[in-house]
């Protein structure tokens, strides 16, 4: 087997591949003469990808934050259990 790639390495590899393909297509390095309409779409492509990746990241973070609210309830419950335990120990004569 090969070396298992981390998520970051996979993303960087994919980005490098996409970036080099994009550069080759837009600069005509492959000797392919693309129609001007194709070039007009290709030039701003990295910016669009960056913006959509940013939106996805913000959406993910927002969703995780929105679904994280049960922590306060758990803290309150733990606090009340600690107080009950203290009261129980006090009743048994332990201080």
Condensed to tens digits (0 to 9), the pLDDT of residues 27-80 reads 777 777 777 777 788 888 888 888 999 999 999 998 888 877 667 777 888 899
3-state per-residue secondary structure call for 42-66: HCCHHHHHHHHHHHHHHHHHHHHHH
Q: What is the pLDDT of residue 95?
A: 60
For residues 24 and 70, give the distance between their C-alpha atoms in angstroms, rounded to a whole number: 50
pLDDT band at 82 (very low <50, low <70, confident <90, very high): very high
Distances, alpha carbon 25 to alpha carbons 16, 43, 53, in Å: 14, 9, 22
């Amino acid at each position: 087997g090969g070396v298992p790639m981390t998520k970051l390495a996979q993303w960087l590899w994919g980005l490098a591949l996409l970036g080099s393909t994009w550069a080759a297509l837009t600069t005509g390095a492959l000797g392919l003469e693309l129609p001007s309409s194709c070039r007009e779409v290709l030039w701003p492509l990295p910016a669009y990808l960056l913006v959509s990746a940013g939106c996805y990241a913000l959406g993910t973070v927002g969703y995780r934050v929105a679904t994280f609210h049960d922590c306060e309830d758990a803290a309150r419950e733990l606090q009340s259990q600690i107080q009950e335990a203290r009261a129980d120990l006090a009743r048994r004569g332990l201080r």
